[in-house]
Chain A
Amino acid sequence: AQSVSQHNHHVILSEAASLELGCNYSYGGTVNLFWYVQYPGQHLQLLLKYFSGDPLVKGIKGFEAEFIKSKFSFNLRKPSVQWSDTAEYFCAVIHANYGGSQGNLIFGKGTKLSVKP
């Protein structure tokens, strides 16, 4: 069965520090990968996604993620975090079944990021 691992449960950084959140998945076939963010008290929203092409994906608010197929990873990065980046970040993976229905989007357990001003 597919699974998604986010290794860090809670990350605490100071403003301007660099961020890397790990995400590894277990499925060996073709996958689509997503990072969603949940700001305090708000609903999940898409940060970025990868389904083909350049493995380095740029998203909103200066975030980027790199798909490394050999490592089954899709780590999220940001060179300099801000206090407003305080949120919970979810990595998600789906089997890319282009011929049919979407299938099951599997989420990681999330990583809470706290940015100290």
Chain B
Amino acid sequence: DAGVIQSPRHEVTEMGQEVTLRCKLISGHNSLFWYRQTMMRGLELLIYFNNNVPIDDSGMPEDRFSAKMPNASFSTLKIQPSEPRDSAVYFCASNPTGLATDTQYFGPGTRLTVL
């Protein structure tokens, strides 16, 4: 199993540009989570999906952020327009069942730098 796959691994962009981060779940998993990690705020949940349906997006910072799950195995997190304060590492994680007792499997992260 390849694990959770994220692309790109590093992204450097200029303020105002659109950024799209991608995540492929582990096959058979049905829950997907997007996290953001910064020095100041630690690891924060942005949004999570269960069976392709967004369940809780209260962590999405503002309307510039949007996430989609067009099919059971793939998700995108889009920032438009990007700002320097969006610089962070963005992790995607998946979970087999969506149950509270289940482990989350994290991807390697995308390090985003907005200049």
Cross-chain contact of B31 among A51, A90, A102, A106 (Cβ < 8 A): A102
Q: Is the CB of A104 within 8 A of B100?
A: no
Interface size on B, residues (CB 8 A): 27
Q: Is the CB of B43 within 8 A of A110?
A: yes
Cross-chain contact of B98 among A34, A36, A95, A102 (Cβ < 8 A): A102
A96 CB to closest chain B CB, in angstroms? 5
Within 8 Å CB of A98, what residues of B? 99-100
Q: Is the CB of A102 within 8 A of B108?
A: no
Most chain B CB neighbours (cut-off 10 Å) among A42, A101, A110: A101
Q: Mark B97-112, 1 if CB is under 8 A from A, else 0.
A: 0111111101111000
Within 8 Å CB of B34, what residues of A? none
Within 8 Å CB of A18, what residues of B? none
In the complex, the number of residue pairs spanning A and B with C-beta atoms less than 8 Å apart equals 63
Q: Is the CB of A101 within 8 A of B50?
A: yes
In the complex, whether A16 has a CB less than 8 A from a CB of chain B is no
Q: Is the CB of B42 within 8 A of A102?
A: no
Interface residues of B (CB under 8 A from A): 31, 33, 35, 41-45, 48, 50, 55-56, 59, 91, 93, 95, 98-104, 106-109
Q: Which 10 A-B pairs have the closest CB atoms?
A: A109-B42, A107-B43, A44-B106, A51-B101, A43-B106, A43-B108, A46-B103, A96-B100, A94-B100, A32-B100
